[in-house]
A and B are shown apart, each in its own frame.
Chain A
């Protein structure tokens, strides 16, 4: 009985519990606020429909954050890849699968450059990837001369917008789930995943136990660029056009979702399970605000506040009220 009590206590104190409670509270609030519209199957489908874009960015961001780095170029690289994809299909008649691979290769090159800047030129990841974000943005202007390009490959469109089981469940959400599960397993169950945590926790110590932090960093930067590219191509396929705005701004949605889900900025902590719940909270929040008729200008501010409030709660949960009040100085 006592054992049960302690394990219940442990669950209640866990990060995951707090996240799920937050999601439940948010859902309840939205459900009543919108007179039952929020949990209507059609609305749920709407939420799920768009999740793949932010979801891919969430995975890439979470992996890098855990390793102690970050990639601010993911979104711009995604926009660039999406633009190249449209150009290749429309102007050069390239098959979607070939175009897809070319775009991934281009994105991977950006990842390599990021990794070289961070690991060899010793730039802070923030600066290196911010610089590369502008480079990628510039390149996407060059690809299309600043114009928007329509995109209508039937297969890609089906992949991005198709639904099955009576038009209820989007394909894209299944793809995203598979990605989350595979990446989640890699992160929590494999040697490589453990090495990401160790490097993020203490790069010096991990090098002295025979881990190569540079190798990990290269793999993760290439990975995040490629996930960005997938997100960019999926987005363009959904909206049937490539624009120079693309998913550049959504980059930050991915970061916010990961951080909401308990991936810390300092590296070494968090996981993809939490990041997924973070993604759900973020998506539900955005959709709920829209349903409640909140002015879209307010949306951005609300996202910011959601992030700040949830971080404040997380801080209180881990540090404890007493210690903050009892604390004298920093």
Chain B
């Protein structure tokens, strides 16, 4: 099966922005082609054209040399193309098996053949080494498992061309390994595989070829075994960013204990003990679902605590709501920017001021000047890329959205002592990540105590002063940056 896909002079513009400008390249069957580039480089647009969601302004797609024309996702599926997006497209109220076979449910007369459906699904589940039942309701599965269902749905179609858009973002190491096993199998079957991800390590693990996009242009095509991380980053950002971690200006003055947690118990985390000092970056590593987010939410009083004590600057505190926690000097930048972090339809300025509305008033009324000053300070401090502070947050890129949230908690009007960052670099491109690392170090220098939660091992063990590893709601180990290696952290993270 010597098939291939060729993108031929693809152009696509949106309201004055050229999202893709004359993109041509070819992906061979039996190889994995990684599509790389910063946010906004045009990767997603290209995948949407491949899936029939968008129609190219110019150019076409050739499969085995024959131009294919389709005008809907349905047409693309018929042409044996499956695109798996970051946003899961599942029906949450239906079972796993119904979702996987949603387009052609096996029937017996007019009834759905449940037995066949179940056994077919079970076979796929076995292949993916997943241990949930085919009749499990999708809405009740974890985000990671939902992602796996989405992947199995495409897998089951047996398409010849499969594209993955950041499939591993919500997955833990174990699930990533299974996914890679599946991808390698698809590859040996001669399928055309396009793979989009921001994670460097993965790219070198799974891909054969790399296509780099930047601002809608094709920068270069590389062979994975002939290039390295530095060269790739340079191609993506258009400059040499060197060794990010070695260049960080870190804080070396760690002060007294600010936050102490003793025997904390909630529904999700058990017997948590920890201390956090002024100027310290405390990293939290662990697999998805290890309880890190839940711990952060419990400390911030977003979720209820069953027992245990929290001490802030030596005094026991009992917050009833996030409001109390904020007043005491805690700040949380949540994991899910869109769902929990921002009010997307509101402006940058409204989002920055949202936590300090009492402080931007003149008399009983909100003061536009005071609010704008706050927002302008944030835009300047974090170099948020926007023409105006009156832009809606929904229009910003992921990195800029994250900066708006950081700006909210570090304005001159809030007294933040403990800053909790939950996956602050998730879905953010390389250039913006490096900026956020330095920002975190600057927070520590300014005397903030920082909790840094991340599922990217490299990031946690290189940025944090101390690393706490969690597994299944418990702390399984604590170590300093010097002691930490990817191996020993991972071992503790998989601890049972």
- Could you tell me the distance between the alpha carbons of A208 and B342 in the complex, rounded to whole angstroms? 10
When the two chains form their complex, are residues B73 and A329 in contact, meaning their CB atoms are under 8 A apart?
Answer: yes
**CB-nearest residue of chain B relative to A201?**
B343
The yes or no answer to B133 lying at the interface (CB within 8 A) is: no
When the two chains form their complex, are residues A194 and B322 in contact, meaning their CB atoms are under 8 A apart?
Answer: no
A260 to chain B, nearest CB (A): 20
**Additional 12 contacts, C-beta under 8 A, given A205-B342, A209-B354:** A189-B365, A194-B366, A197-B343, A201-B345, A208-B322, A208-B334, A208-B340, A209-B322, A211-B323, A328-B72, A328-B73, A329-B53
A-side contacts of B341, CB under 8 Å? 205, 208
Given contacts A195-B357, A210-B327, A329-B73, contact A190 B364 (CB under 8 A): yes
Q: How large is the interface on A (under 10, 10 to 19, 20 to 34, 35 or more residues)?
A: 20 to 34
When the two chains form their complex, are residues B357 and A194 in contact, meaning their CB atoms are under 8 A apart?
Answer: yes
A-side contacts of B302, CB under 8 Å? 207-208
When the two chains form their complex, are residues B355 and A210 in contact, meaning their CB atoms are under 8 A apart?
Answer: yes
**CB-nearest residue of chain A relative to B74?**
A329
The yes or no answer to A168 lying at the interface (CB within 8 A) is: no
**CB-nearest residue of chain A relative to B71?**
A328
Q: Which of A189, A202, A269 has the most CB of B within 10 A?
A: A202
When the two chains form their complex, are residues A198 and B345 in contact, meaning their CB atoms are under 8 A apart?
Answer: no
A188 to chain B, nearest CB (A): 9
A-side contacts of B365, CB under 8 Å? 185, 189-190
A266 to chain B, nearest CB (A): 9
**CB-nearest residue of chain B relative to A186?**
B364
8 shortest interchain CB distances as A-B pairs:
A201-B343, A210-B323, A209-B355, A191-B357, A210-B326, A189-B365, A202-B343, A209-B354
What is the 8 Å Cβ interface bit string for chain A, positions 309-330, against chain B (1 contact, 0 not)? 0000000000000000010110
**CB-nearest residue of chain B relative to A197?**
B346
- Could you tell me the distance between the alpha carbons of A262 and B408 in the complex, rounded to whole angstroms? 29
Q: Which of B53, B74, B300, B340 has the most CB of A within 10 A?
A: B340
The yes or no answer to A268 lying at the interface (CB within 8 A) is: yes
- Could you tell me the distance between the alpha carbons of A189 and B365 in the complex, rounded to whole angstroms? 5
**CB-nearest residue of chain A relative to B54?**
A328
The yes or no answer to B339 lying at the interface (CB within 8 A) is: yes
A selection of 13 A-B contacts at a CB cut-off of 8 Å is A185-B365, A190-B366, A191-B358, A194-B354, A198-B343, A198-B354, A201-B343, A205-B354, A208-B322, A210-B355, A269-B345, A328-B52, A328-B71
Q: Which of A189, A198, A208, A328 has the most CB of B within 10 A?
A: A208
**CB-nearest residue of chain B relative to A199?**
B343
What is the 8 Å Cβ interface bit string for chain B, positions 54-87, against chain A (1 contact, 0 not)? 1100000000000000011110000000000000
- Could you tell me the distance between the alpha carbons of A197 and B350 in the complex, rounded to whole angstroms? 10
CB interface residues, A 258-304, toward B, < 8 Å: 268-269
B-side contacts of A210, CB under 8 Å? 321-323, 326-327, 355
- Could you tell me the distance between the alpha carbons of A194 and B334 in the complex, rounded to whole angstroms? 21
- Could you tell me the distance between the alpha carbons of A210 and B416 in the complex, rounded to whole angstroms? 13
The yes or no answer to B490 lying at the interface (CB within 8 A) is: no
Majority secondary structure of chain B interface residues (helix, strand, loop or mixed): mixed
The yes or no answer to A206 lying at the interface (CB within 8 A) is: yes
- Could you tell me the distance between the alpha carbons of A97 and B366 in the complex, rounded to whole angstroms? 35
- Could you tell me the distance between the alpha carbons of A326 and B15 in the complex, rounded to whole angstroms? 13
B79 to chain A, nearest CB (A): 15
- Could you tell me the distance between the alpha carbons of A113 and B339 in the complex, rounded to whole angstroms? 29
When the two chains form their complex, are residues A205 and B71 in contact, meaning their CB atoms are under 8 A apart?
Answer: no
When the two chains form their complex, are residues B332 and A268 in contact, meaning their CB atoms are under 8 A apart?
Answer: no
B243 to chain A, nearest CB (A): 35
A327 to chain B, nearest CB (A): 10
A-side contacts of B327, CB under 8 Å? 210
Number of interface residues of B (CB under 8 A): 35
What is the 8 Å Cβ interface bit string for chain A, positions 189-229, against chain B (1 contact, 0 not)? 11100110110011011111111100000000000000000
- Residues of chain B having any CB pair with chain A under 8 Å: 52-55, 71-74, 300, 302, 321-323, 326-327, 332, 334, 339-346, 350, 354-355, 357-358, 361, 364-366, 408
When the two chains form their complex, are residues A205 and B340 in contact, meaning their CB atoms are under 8 A apart?
Answer: yes
Q: Which of A191, A197, A207 has the most CB of B within 10 A?
A: A191
A-side contacts of B358, CB under 8 Å? 191
A53 to chain B, nearest CB (A): 30
Q: Which of A205, A209, A328 has the most CB of B within 10 A?
A: A209
- Determine which of B52, B342, B357, B361 lies in contact with A202 in the assembled complex, contact meaning CB atoms within 8 Å: B342
- Could you tell me the distance between the alpha carbons of A189 and B302 in the complex, rounded to whole angstroms? 28
- Could you tell me the distance between the alpha carbons of A209 and B55 in the complex, rounded to whole angstroms? 41
- Could you tell me the distance between the alpha carbons of A206 and B366 in the complex, rounded to whole angstroms? 17
- Could you tell me the distance between the alpha carbons of A257 and B332 in the complex, rounded to whole angstroms? 39
**CB-nearest residue of chain B relative to A267?**
B345
- Could you tell me the distance between the alpha carbons of A210 and B413 in the complex, rounded to whole angstroms? 14
What is the 8 Å Cβ interface bit string for chain A, positions 220-256, against chain B (1 contact, 0 not)? 0000000000000000000000000000000000000
A-side contacts of B357, CB under 8 Å? 191, 194-195
**CB-nearest residue of chain B relative to A195?**
B357
- Could you tell me the distance between the alpha carbons of A204 and B337 in the complex, rounded to whole angstroms? 11
When the two chains form their complex, are residues A204 and B323 in contact, meaning their CB atoms are under 8 A apart?
Answer: no
A-side contacts of B71, CB under 8 Å? 328
B437 to chain A, nearest CB (A): 23
Given contacts A207-B322, A328-B55, A329-B72, contact A202 B344 (CB under 8 A): yes
**CB-nearest residue of chain B relative to A185?**
B365
- Could you tell me the distance between the alpha carbons of A210 and B357 in the complex, rounded to whole angstroms? 10
- Determine which of B53, B74, B339, B343 lies in contact with A206 in the assembled complex, contact meaning CB atoms within 8 Å: B343
B326 to chain A, nearest CB (A): 4
When the two chains form their complex, are residues A268 and B355 in contact, meaning their CB atoms are under 8 A apart?
Answer: no
When the two chains form their complex, are residues B350 and A194 in contact, meaning their CB atoms are under 8 A apart?
Answer: yes
- Could you tell me the distance between the alpha carbons of A208 and B355 in the complex, rounded to whole angstroms? 9
